[in-house]
Structure 1
């Protein structure tokens, strides 16, 4: 029997950031196979070239070896080596019918977890053992729910096909696009995504969530010429100065009158010493908007600023997209169905068919759009849990009683559609 509380706590102890979820994905594969699912993973589960913001080969290999040292199945994870950590479980029911998919994100965050006595994971002995990484956004709970749902549906007492999508690298909106580009959503008739928490209290369910912004995350590099800053400053080409010029002008991009927008330079790095002209520098930038088209406009403005900032200081430059997402449009029919089923689950007491929950971004948006473009329907739910600290905070935690309720809700939704 799948013990979802134990699974959640085990995953919480072993948090792995995007595209390094080797141990997590290995456990998912093992459990799905034990339940009779056909399992797609490794390079069969995502398009490698479409991944965004993949860690360096060194970091990937370090995470791979760490996963093996903490019990990952060698035969499974060797297929994931290099950051191919998506897992898709497929199960056919007792007769023909629709393909119903659910998406669960698996990755953790580079957040050091609290050691305070009032932090439950620390007090009860399941705090992160991977120092500097933490499940600070409930993805350990999401993965546990997915495995609990897999067990429920293993009786095959439904019509059609169930597809359980365990996605890497949601943080930074990096992983979903590569699964979409592999074509793994192309046969899906109905897709449900969801998130725990997001300031929605325990007992409340939202059938559809709005407010997710389109976003583009970019890493820009500036390449100059180093020189002695005192003796021969004119011979240098200051990459840090070019990056700083870009930073100031990116933040000077005007707001838009037709949609909410955001721009931010979150990282500026460069230089080695006070007396050396900086040969290289790096910016990490994000744009956001409630409009996909306006976000594209913002992205182009940022690209123009970077290019001209480099040119005015006689620098070379490069830009890489390391993450992106688009807005979400929920199908009201699915939101209504979800609320109808939630009302049958003991412990759920408050319901909203659709509510605004976010001013962030969510890369499940690419999966939702692909399904809808091909004639299917999709929605993104919120399942409430009280949280002692905000998402991405060192003291973030969830109420574990929400986990079996969420499993029952998703099971009811699956059987309602695939009947």
Structure 2
């Protein structure tokens, strides 16, 4: 029987960034197979060409070798090499019925975890072993819940098919789209996704969410000409100056009256020395809106600014999409099923009628959309898990009492749908 506390703490100690979740995915594959699931992973579970924001070959290989050093099964991760870290486990019931999917994300964040003594993982000696990486958004808990659900359902009789989707690279909204493009969701009739925490206390469950924004993440590269900044400045083409021009104008785009919007330049880098005209600069930008159409318009305005900023300074440029998401619309009858099945779970004290609200973005949105376009139904739930610090904070943690609640909630939903 899985020890979910030990599993969660082991995953917390070994946080892996998007598309480098080799060790985590290896554990998922091993566990699912031991429970009798049919398992696909690697290139069978994700479309390589559709992956967004893929790390460099150097980072992918270093992460692969690190996973092997920390106990990943070489036969399994060998089939994931190069950033193919998606896993899907399928279990078929004894009678015919619909296909039900649950989705769990696995990746961590590029954050240095706190080692203050009031930080629970530090107190109990399971802080990150990988410097600069941290599970600061509860995905270690999500993966643990997913494997706990896999164990619970392996012992049940049901009608239909259960599909457990373990997704890489949710952070930066990069991984779900490529799994959708692989066709993983095309046979799914019902899809339930969930997130731990989200400022909701342990023991409170929401059957749906509203407010998730459409977003596009862009990486812009500016290419100029290096030159001596003192002797021959006129012979140079300053890529960093072009990028800075773009940054200021991107942040000058007006907000919209037709929908809530967000714009941010989160990365600007370039140059090598004070006396050299920078020949290359890179910036990473995000747009967000509650409207998919408005977000697309914001993206186009950003692209136009980049084009003309490069032109002003005589630069070449390139823009690539490195992440994206669309708004989430939950089906009311799925929300109601989730609420009804939450009743009576040990530790649950509050089941609000209203959906939870968030103005973040979530790439499970592509999975929900694909299921709904094919005539199926879906929802995105919130599992309360009291947090001592906000998501993406060095002291973020989840209350582990939320883990068995999440497992039991998914199990009950499966037995309701597949009876």
How does the TM-score come out when normalised to structure 1? Answer: 0.99
* Corresponding residue for residue 102 of structure 1: 102
The one-character-per-residue Cα deviations of 1:377-404 (angstroms, maximum 9, x if unpaired) are: 0000001011100101111111111111
Asked whether the 8 Å contact 2:106–2:140 carries over to 1, the reply is yes
* Corresponding residue for residue 39 of structure 2: 39
* Corresponding residue for residue 218 of structure 1: 218
* Corresponding residue for residue 160 of structure 2: 160
Q: Give the match's secondary structure for 1:177.
A: helix
* Corresponding residue for residue 52 of structure 2: 52
Structure 2: gaps of 5 or more residues: none
How many angstroms does 1:353 deviate by? 3.9
* Corresponding residue for residue 92 of structure 2: 92
Q: Give the match's secondary structure for 2:282.
A: strand
Asked whether the 8 Å contact 2:217–2:321 carries over to 1, the reply is yes
The one-character-per-residue Cα deviations of 1:2-46 (angstroms, maximum 9, x if unpaired) are: 111111011001000100000000000000000000001000000
Asked whether the 8 Å contact 2:292–2:326 carries over to 1, the reply is yes
How many angstroms does 1:319 deviate by? 0.4
* Residue 131 of structure 2 corresponds to residue 115 of structure 1: no
* Corresponding residue for residue 413 of structure 1: 413
How many angstroms does 1:124 deviate by? 0.6
The one-character-per-residue Cα deviations of 1:349-391 (angstroms, maximum 9, x if unpaired) are: 1112442421110000000000000000000000101110010
* Residue 232 of structure 2 corresponds to residue 235 of structure 1: no
* Residue 69 of structure 2 corresponds to residue 62 of structure 1: no
Q: Structure 2 matches for 1:17-416, cutoff 5 A?
A: 17-416=17-416
How many angstroms does 1:237 deviate by? 0.8
How many angstroms does 1:156 deviate by? 4.5
Structure 2 Cα separation of the partners of residues 48 and 82 of structure 1 = 9
Structure 2 Cα separation of the partners of residues 21 and 385 of structure 1 = 23
The one-character-per-residue Cα deviations of 1:143-168 (angstroms, maximum 9, x if unpaired) are: 00000000011124010000000000
Structure 2 Cα separation of the partners of residues 353 and 361 of structure 1 = 22
Structure 1 Cα separation of the partners of residues 143 and 271 of structure 2 = 41
Structure 1: gaps of 5 or more residues: none
Q: Give the match's secondary structure for 1:201.
A: coil
Structure 1 Cα separation of the partners of residues 296 and 183 of structure 2 = 24
Asked whether the 8 Å contact 1:238–1:279 carries over to 2, the reply is yes
Q: Give the match's secondary structure for 1:183.
A: coil
Structure 2 Cα separation of the partners of residues 356 and 115 of structure 1 = 32
Moved over 2 A (4+): 352-357
The one-character-per-residue Cα deviations of 1:48-90 (angstroms, maximum 9, x if unpaired) are: 0100001000000000000000000000000000000000000
Structure 2 Cα separation of the partners of residues 405 and 283 of structure 1 = 41
How many residue pairs get matched? Answer: 419
Asked whether the 8 Å contact 1:100–1:417 carries over to 2, the reply is yes
Structure 1 Cα separation of the partners of residues 169 and 194 of structure 2 = 16
Structure 2 Cα separation of the partners of residues 346 and 159 of structure 1 = 26
Q: Give the match's secondary structure for 1:12.
A: helix
How many angstroms does 1:94 deviate by? 1.2
Structure 2 Cα separation of the partners of residues 330 and 402 of structure 1 = 23
Q: Give the match's secondary structure for 1:89.
A: strand
Q: Give the match's secondary structure for 1:225.
A: coil
Asked whether the 8 Å contact 2:223–2:281 carries over to 1, the reply is yes
